[in-house]
Amino acid sequence: MSYPLDTPLGRFGVRNFEDGPDRCVASIPAGDAVNPLTGAPTIAPLAMLVDHAGGLVNHHRRDADEWTVTSELSLELRPEAVEIIAAAPGEPVIATARPFGPKGEIALALCELTHRDVALATATVRSFFISAPDRIAPFSDGPPAPPPPIPFAEKMAVTVAESGGATQVLLQPQDPVLNNSIGIVHGGVSAMALEMVAAAAVNSGRAGAPLRTASLRVNFLREFQSGPESRYVGTALRVGRRTGIAEAQAVGADGRSAIIARVTAYR
């Protein structure tokens, strides 16, 4: 199953192969993804895929009057994941997600990511259950299609506001295609942007071999709305010869952090 282009999943080429409460299998193309802050290939699409596949498994476990909201996402990668994808950029990354433990007030999904049957990453998505909101907007019934052949940053509708130095900033102007079914920026889109600003922060001014993202941890605190002042801010906490740590925030127009993340990178 593919999604229409006027949905966040369709824009990034996500496809479903299995879809149910016991197992979800989905894919995303990642070979053309470039971080607009650094010009280097990025593993950011894997965060989108994890958010989708793991969140979908949790969503299938809801009761009829419930909805799910993702609270945490974690992704642990092989540092050479970018190089593995680059060896066959036309092949998608595959995620296989399963539930972990019984359904309670929260649900946890485990996710394994592969590329041409090579293990790339392991991940988790934790969701909690809320009363079904009144403002759920169904996705359109438009025909599915391949993602548009435009630069990755254009798909995300982000623009570079600040680059260079220990702080890196991407703006998130309004683009309704990037919204989820309750009208806020899709969590997978935000997770991708947070990885990119954090990765750019640890690599700012770095000569020689880049530090490559090995772990991404995201906490969703509140709704994140796109707009002229909405932005992703990445700040390096520590950068050494072989490792780097950065934090990132999605900041709304009110100046409050809506989503926070931490990236650890290695040479």
Spatial neighbors of 183 by CB under 8 A, at least 6 apart, are 135, 137
Please report the pLDDT score of residue 184 as a whole number. 93
Handedness of CA 31, 32, 37, 40 (dihedral sign): positive
pLDDT at position 207 is 73
Q: Which helix (H) or strand (E) holds 118?
A: strand 118-131
What does the pLDDT look like over 192-236, one tens digit per residue?
999 999 999 999 988 778 999 999 999 999 999 999 999 999 999
For range 113-122, the mean pLDDT: 97
State both tokens at 156: 């995300």
Which phi and psi angles does 46 have, rounded to 5°?
Answer: -65, -30
Which one is the CATH code of 8-132+153-266: 1.20.120.10, 2.40.160.210, 3.20.20.70, 2.60.40.3670? 2.40.160.210
Closest CA to 233 of 157, 161, 169: 169
129-170, pLDDT tens digit by residue? 999 877 665 655 555 667 678 899 999 999 999 666 789 999
Report the C-alpha gap between 224 and 228 in whole angstroms.
13
Give the C-alpha distances (Å, rounded to integers) separating 76 from 23, 127, 168, 193: 20, 18, 23, 17
DSSP state at residue 122: E
Per-residue pLDDT tens over the stretch 4-54: 888 999 999 999 999 999 999 999 999 999 999 999 999 999 999 999 999
pLDDT at 132: 84
pLDDT at 140: 54
Cα separation, 157 vs 178, whole angstroms: 8
What is the predicted pLDDT for the residue at 12?
95
Measured CA to CA, the distance from residue 100 to residue 154 in angstroms comes to 36
Mind listing the pLDDT tens digit for each residue in 63-94? 989 999 999 999 999 989 999 999 999 999 99
What pLDDT band is residue 1 in, cutting at 50, 70 and 90? confident
All structural domains of the chain with their residue ranges: 8-132+153-266
DSSP assignment of 212-261: EEEEEEEEE-S----STT-EEEEEEEEE-SSEEEEEEEEE-TTS-EEEEE
Supply the pLDDT for residue 142: 54
Please check the confidence at residue 257 and state whether its pLDDT lies above 90.
yes
